A and B are shown apart, each in its own frame.
Chain A
């Protein structure tokens, strides 16, 4: 049973992936605290190391084209274990959404609205997110391409504007850290931005992709996202050098340095615009996934009324996860990558292996996506009227 009837095109799905990755790009403090001025190396390494993971997601998507992640688990693990895992995943999506929303609220509170209560800032965003989620995936992902290009534009423009302040010596000394740090950084990058793409499996039924198209869009999407990340990190390192790990938002500091005569200065507003857009989009996708997950756990026919519930949960859950920012960044560096691994790697991998052993999916010998798609049964009633 499909809850959301909307269909999105493959290109839009690709940009959704890219944008999802880009939204992690502006919050790279936890990475630079591990790998210092060599932060760009883990990005390159993780781009390579994440490919099997991406291939796993893509394979699951092709194997069960009409099912969301929760339905896949129901089929593979059986209804009882599937449901238990489903509840875990719901919690996982909710936590991710809450954390990202909290990040947005923290940013706004730190930079523009210092005296406004955190919850008010977060509530406004949550309301708009809920509104978008109620309209379905079509609306949630509508602006992915537009936002991606805006983000590309912002990165390119700032790159040019700070070019004269860049110093290649800031990249030195390279490859001097103990190897374990690179490993840790790579693991971090693979788990936190890329691994979170497991949420895309919740969108599967709404995306019509053939086998080759799925491969193409997944890999191009991930590559574009990682390229943006790489560009941003290199820019920040070359500008800030050793001071990079000191800042929670290096991107903001970099943009603050832009000063071309009288005309172009104080463009950190661009950073704010980008961050708001990115986090809004990410929270919307995550909330959408949680809403669908909740609706499927309760086997309801419509998901729309759950959107508000998820929105409220996300708003109240965010502030109570961590007691302080320090705790959050420590946990993001030391605990989260291993813990998230369960959801992002091990359960999907287990699912893939069991599905192969049980020879699932059974009925569809050929890929149903390549069969002729049925015309949507829209307007059936009205046509009868016309006759």
Chain B
């Protein structure tokens, strides 16, 4: 509430300042635009090269290679590219060789106006060749890893696709490993990622839209969704939010996430991400929209529902009963990771009568030698655990073992025997910490909320925990992700097929209600026969055999 108020005021202030700024600078900007327009392409190759180098600040990795070609080498030209951004064999085979060999047996030479067209259509061998007449476009082409061909005497240049740079190959993602299921993961290359998704969904309805975001980085951002399945309103909303971005740089999809999410001050994230093509493909098939950002293997998907954190790819690859069991375990684990320390504090400080007597004695014995109140004890342990976890993530791998030894022996055992914390507390925090990892995408919200929940528990006992829980439910109910209620699947009876349990695949015939529009059915409902491949003949055989025996 308070944050919302502050943000409204801030937004008003900044917009007010922007308006003033713009009105003051409008004259200035016009001259700037004119200046850019001034640099036009000219007939002279020398002039063009000079201007192009000027635009690109005469960078050292800009390669300019002058060539002469034609039947009598009468045309002089230059190819311009950035070193390391292009694929050398393509450059040689697709551009240089055809150019050198062209015109050997020709009798008449084309004039200057036709020359570029002929080069574009007949000579250069590359997947895409475009003719551009603005120098800024040519420069932009160079920056993308394309090769620019300028010919003396021609008003224009060719931008030829020769993109090729070092990239990581498709490997198993480190963050989402599976026992069963495809092992490929996204890479840092946008095209590889989109092709990985398209290879999963070979359908013409899969639509891809490209946007450029970031004033300096010019990062390509792709939206992928199933036309006719995804809700057009949500698609429009996503397009609007991304196209409105006025930022300098986008280095990772986390940037996009932070700029477009609905609830920036909530502990729960309202945009989901994945590193696995099969997960993203499944979400697209449910009617969600994938946002692929160049330069990162993490693909965002919107809208996100709370339940998505509890669904893993493997749920759908193993048999439904076991998958349902796992999912219920995940719910309990999340509950534990948020509420276990709070409940322990509440029981220990207020509700001794609720603990079985023998356990109470154990607790009392453990509490006897410890100096701090149970709340402080819990804080110390949680803090220590978070430190250990962070250290484990950041440290180089060989040192990691040392950390685990320090954590296990010193933090656990020694702290108890030295009498700083009680053994039951160590157990509580340990189960809390381990349970948190069962739901990876809610780890952050879990570790924040468990500290928040400890406060009402320390003040008002279980009564406080109950209202902390109700408050959390209220907050969850108030969240929305791109117009879809975040907690919808729990109050929508029709989506129950994939919440608390995972129904068999043949029973999940409808897409989630809140997300998809239009084509809602996934397939026909059918109950698989007990022996799907048993034809009538075999059944007769069986019957006969049965009769004989």
Contacts and interface: CB of A to CB of B under 8 A. Distances in A.
B463 A135 contact: no
Given A112-B351, A135-B478, A142-B487, A276 B466 contact: yes
Interface string A121-132: 100110110011
B470 interface: yes
Given A125-B467, A128-B471, A379-B237, A138 B477 contact: yes
Interface stretch (B70-78, B282-290, B454-462): B454-462
A113 B463 contact: yes
A386 B236 contact: yes
A123 to B, nearest CB: 10
A266 B351 CA distance: 13
B1 interface: yes
Contacts of B1: 131, 134
A319 to B, nearest CB: 18
Contact of B463 (A12, A112, A131): A112
Size category, B interface: 20 to 34
A143 B493 CA distance: 12
Given A112-B461, A382-B240, A385-B240, A124 B477 contact: no
Contacts of A379: 233, 236-237
Interface in B483-517: 485, 487, 490-491, 493
Interface in A98-137: 108, 112-113, 116, 120-121, 124-125, 127-128, 131-132, 134-135
Given A124-B467, A128-B467, A128-B474, A116 B460 contact: yes
Contacts of A280: 467, 470
Contact of B354 (A121, A127, A269, A386): A269
A146 interface: yes
B101 interface: no
B350 interface: yes
Contacts of A120: 460
A386 B351 contact: no
Given A276-B466, A379-B237, A135 B460 contact: no
Contact of A124 (B350, B464, B475): B464
B339 to A, nearest CB: 13
B474 A135 contact: yes
A12 B477 contact: no
A379 B244 CA distance: 14
B418 to A, nearest CB: 34
Interface of A: 12, 108, 112-113, 116, 120-121, 124-125, 127-128, 131-132, 134-135, 138-139, 142-143, 145-146, 266, 269, 273, 276-277, 280, 379, 382-383, 385-386
Given A145-B493, A385-B244, 11 more contacts: A112-B463, A113-B461, A124-B464, A128-B470, A128-B474, A131-B1, A131-B474, A135-B474, A135-B478, A139-B474, A146-B491
16 contacts: A112-B463, A113-B461, A128-B467, A132-B477, A135-B474, A142-B473, A142-B491, A143-B473, A145-B491, A146-B491, A276-B466, A276-B467, A276-B470, A379-B233, A379-B236, A385-B240
6 nearest interchain CB pairs? A142-B477, A135-B478, A132-B474, A139-B477, A128-B471, A139-B478
